[in-house]
Amino acid sequence: MTKQDLITEIEDILQADEGSLNETTALAGLEDWDSLAFISIIALFDKKLSKKVPLDELKQCQSVGDIIALSGI
């Protein structure tokens, strides 16, 4: 999976328009950045990246780039 693939997956989870997110996009300003998004991203990491991400680390993310950094991509 590439960074762009991950951004596309995050756009799907957050119901954002395709191409509307990038690494500098602040998560706090996104309407759908909520507990359901956290669970969906944890599931994404588990299924597509075979990586476990602790919820507390995900909650500390401030931007899309922070999520990408957690992925190790």
The 10s digit of each residue's pLDDT in 12-54 is 999 999 999 999 999 998 999 999 999 999 999 999 999 999 9
pLDDT number for residue 62: 98
pLDDT number for residue 70: 95
pLDDT number for residue 3: 96
Confidence of residue 10 (pLDDT cuts 50, 70, 90): very high
d(CA 50, CA 27): 23
Q: What's the pTM value of the predicted model, to 2 decimals? A: 0.92
Domain positions in the chain: 3-17+26-71
pLDDT number for residue 31: 92
Give the number of other CB atoms < 10 A from CB of residue 68.
Answer: 17
Question: Which tokens belong to 64?
Answer: 């899309």
